[in-house]
Structure 1
Amino acid sequence: MRIEARQSLILTIDMQDRLLGAIPETERNKAIENSARLLAAAAALEIPRLATAQYPQGLGPIRADLRSFCTESFDKTVFSCWRHAPLRNLLETGQGRHQVILTGVETHICVLQTALDLHSAGWQPIVVADACASRDDANAQSALLRLRQAGITVTVAESVFYEWLGDAAHPQFRSLAPAWR
């Protein structure tokens, strides 16, 4: 399965400073940077950009630098975004896209449960491993293995970007490619 811009939307899960602060710095920074680069590319390519915040009353809002790219955001308490009725309804009724690019935290909790539920519901979740993170990398790696075993695509941010473009002759290539060098 190829990742197609016209079939994609991106869902950034729970990128909140209180959650991110518990993740080791290297993994945290990589997840933030790759999520931001994908969101920026998605904005330029007019790909819908969604975000969630887990219990924002206690964990705070979505990072402003990431939220600024998003077309919709949702506050939730459920771990699987698919089980949040307003988000699920938006996906089912208005997007017309079936590839859900997933970034965020934590890989082994909300990202994992969201991907499994989307897959079970007939969607094509694509988990961007280098735009996701967990407090313990062993937990993240276990989740990524489980996702692969369930038949869910796991990839990296740069692959998503280049599949979205598909061709160096794409009109956005020259303006967007420098962010990936």
Structure 2
Amino acid sequence: MLLRANDSILIVVDMQARLVPAVAHSEEVTGRVAFMLQVARRLDVPVILTEQYPDGLGGTVEAVRTQAPDSPVVEKMNFSAMREPDFARRLSALRRRQAVICGAETHVCVMQTAAETATTGFDTFVVADACGSRRDSDKRAGLERLARHGIEAVTSEMVAFEWLHRAGTDAFRDVIKLIR
């Protein structure tokens, strides 16, 4: 199944000030998340950000937050955002069927959010290069487990080109500048 911008929601999980520095390859992961947000903004894909216990882990890192200044941020205590009534309500209100998920940590909050989002009927995709864990082995295990449950791992460029679906448009010219 291909992704469609007009049916997608981008969910950015817990890219927070006290967590992101501990994530392996954090600069690369943060850059890919920021790229996803730029593409989503250009293609009018709605975004929801989450923050796990922000009193302890801090707010969303600036490099991410600046790319989604008007997007809602849902605070959570549950590892799965789907267990937070405000998140589930916002997700449902968007009336879209494809959930594209990225953030930290892959094997905990990303995995649990993706698994529970899929059980509610969303076609669910995890953006592998825009996800991170403190250990690479945990990231791999999280992605493998999600795959066993039918959740597809994609890359940020796969998402961008599927959302675009064709070259030669103004949107394509804008997005291709972000890739080069």
2:163 and 2:17 map into 1 onto residues whose CA distance is 29
TM-score of the two chains, using structure 1 as the length reference? 0.95
* SS of structure 2 residue aligned to 1:104: strand
1:65 and 1:13 map into 2 onto residues whose CA distance is 14
In the alignment, structure 1 residue 23 sits paired with structure 2 residue 23: yes
Structure 2 residues not aligned, in runs of 5+: none
* SS of structure 1 residue aligned to 2:19: helix
Structure 1 residues not aligned, in runs of 5+: none
Letter in 2 for 1:17: A
1:119 and 1:4 map into 2 onto residues whose CA distance is 17
Task: Identify the residue that residue 10 of structure 2 maps to in structure 1.
Answer: 10
1:141, CA displacement in angstroms? Answer: 0.2
Contact preservation (8 Å) 2:30, 2:63: no
1:32 and 1:21 map into 2 onto residues whose CA distance is 10
Aligned-pair Cα RMSD in Å: 1.0
1:50, CA displacement in angstroms? Answer: 1.0
2:62 and 2:134 map into 1 onto residues whose CA distance is 21
Task: Identify the residue that residue 96 of structure 2 maps to in structure 1.
Answer: 97
Letter in 2 for 1:161: A
| Runs of 4+ with deviation above 2 angstroms | none
* SS of structure 2 residue aligned to 1:11: strand
1:148 and 1:46 map into 2 onto residues whose CA distance is 28
Letter in 2 for 1:16: Q
Task: Identify the residue that residue 152 of structure 1 maps to in structure 2.
Answer: 151
1:170 and 1:45 map into 2 onto residues whose CA distance is 12
Q: Which of 30, 36, 39 is matched with 2:37 structurally?
A: 39
Letter in 2 for 1:33: G
